[in-house]
Amino acid sequence: MKKIALFAALPVAALALSACGEDSAVEEQGDMLEERADEVEDYGDDHAAAMEERADEAPTDAQEDALNARAEEIDDIGDERADALNERADEME
Protein backbone atom coordinates (compact mmCIF):
# COMPACT_ATOMS: atom_id res chain seq x y z
CA MET A 1 0.00 0.00 0.00
CA LYS A 2 2.88 2.37 0.78
CA LYS A 3 4.30 1.79 -2.70
CA ILE A 4 1.00 2.76 -4.32
CA ALA A 5 0.87 5.99 -2.32
CA LEU A 6 4.47 6.74 -3.27
CA PHE A 7 3.80 6.23 -6.98
CA ALA A 8 0.63 8.29 -6.77
CA ALA A 9 2.60 11.17 -5.24
CA LEU A 10 5.35 11.15 -7.89
CA PRO A 11 3.50 13.22 -10.53
CA VAL A 12 2.71 15.88 -7.94
CA ALA A 13 6.33 15.96 -6.80
CA ALA A 14 7.51 16.22 -10.41
CA LEU A 15 5.25 19.21 -11.04
CA ALA A 16 6.46 20.91 -7.87
CA LEU A 17 10.09 20.43 -8.87
CA SER A 18 9.54 21.70 -12.40
CA ALA A 19 7.93 24.86 -11.01
CA CYS A 20 11.07 25.46 -8.98
CA GLY A 21 13.38 25.38 -11.99
CA GLU A 22 15.93 28.00 -12.87
CA ASP A 23 14.76 31.56 -13.31
CA SER A 24 14.88 33.16 -16.73
CA ALA A 25 17.26 36.06 -17.32
CA VAL A 26 14.39 38.52 -16.87
CA GLU A 27 13.40 36.90 -13.57
CA GLU A 28 17.03 37.07 -12.44
CA GLN A 29 17.04 40.79 -13.21
CA GLY A 30 13.83 41.13 -11.23
CA ASP A 31 15.45 39.38 -8.28
CA MET A 32 18.44 41.73 -8.51
CA LEU A 33 16.11 44.72 -8.57
CA GLU A 34 14.37 43.44 -5.44
CA GLU A 35 17.75 43.12 -3.72
CA ARG A 36 18.65 46.62 -4.83
CA ALA A 37 15.32 47.90 -3.51
CA ASP A 38 16.13 46.40 -0.12
CA GLU A 39 19.53 48.10 -0.17
CA VAL A 40 17.99 51.45 -1.11
CA GLU A 41 15.41 51.19 1.64
CA ASP A 42 18.04 50.17 4.21
CA TYR A 43 20.28 53.05 3.17
CA GLY A 44 17.42 55.52 3.56
CA ASP A 45 16.53 54.06 6.94
CA ASP A 46 20.14 54.25 8.14
CA HIS A 47 20.60 57.79 6.89
CA ALA A 48 17.32 58.89 8.49
CA ALA A 49 18.29 57.25 11.79
CA ALA A 50 21.62 59.09 11.77
CA MET A 51 19.79 62.35 11.10
CA GLU A 52 17.44 61.66 14.00
CA GLU A 53 20.42 61.08 16.29
CA ARG A 54 21.80 64.44 15.23
CA ALA A 55 18.39 65.95 15.95
CA ASP A 56 18.46 64.55 19.48
CA GLU A 57 21.71 66.43 20.07
CA ALA A 58 20.57 69.70 18.47
CA PRO A 59 21.02 72.74 20.69
CA THR A 60 17.57 74.20 19.97
CA ASP A 61 14.09 72.82 19.48
CA ALA A 62 13.87 74.50 16.08
CA GLN A 63 17.00 72.76 14.87
CA GLU A 64 15.77 69.46 16.27
CA ASP A 65 12.45 69.87 14.48
CA ALA A 66 14.19 70.75 11.21
CA LEU A 67 16.51 67.72 11.43
CA ASN A 68 13.63 65.40 12.30
CA ALA A 69 11.64 66.74 9.34
CA ARG A 70 14.61 66.14 7.04
CA ALA A 71 15.03 62.63 8.45
CA GLU A 72 11.40 61.90 7.62
CA GLU A 73 11.90 63.21 4.07
CA ILE A 74 14.98 61.02 3.63
CA ASP A 75 13.09 57.99 4.89
CA ASP A 76 10.17 58.71 2.54
CA ILE A 77 12.49 59.17 -0.45
CA GLY A 78 14.17 55.82 0.25
CA ASP A 79 10.80 54.10 0.62
CA GLU A 80 9.48 55.61 -2.62
CA ARG A 81 12.56 54.60 -4.60
CA ALA A 82 12.45 51.09 -3.15
CA ASP A 83 8.75 50.81 -4.03
CA ALA A 84 9.47 51.88 -7.60
CA LEU A 85 12.22 49.28 -7.92
CA ASN A 86 9.97 46.59 -6.47
CA GLU A 87 7.21 47.48 -8.94
CA ARG A 88 9.63 47.07 -11.85
CA ALA A 89 10.85 43.80 -10.38
CA ASP A 90 7.28 42.52 -10.08
CA GLU A 91 6.70 43.27 -13.76
CA MET A 92 9.71 41.11 -14.64
CA GLU A 93 8.54 38.06 -12.73
Three-state helix/strand/coil letters over the chain: CHHHHHHHHHHHHHHHHHHCCCCCHHHHHHHHHHHHHHHHHHHHHHHHHHHHHHHHCCCCHHHHHHHHHHHHHHHHHHHHHHHHHHHHHHHHC
pTM beyond 0.85: the answer is: no
C-beta separation of 67 from 54 below 8 A: yes
pLDDT given for residue 17 in this prediction: 45
pLDDT digits (tens, 9 = 90+) for 29-78: 999 999 999 999 999 999 999 999 999 999 999 999 999 999 999 999 99
**Does 22 score more than 80 pLDDT?**
no
Show me where the domains of the chain are located: 24-92
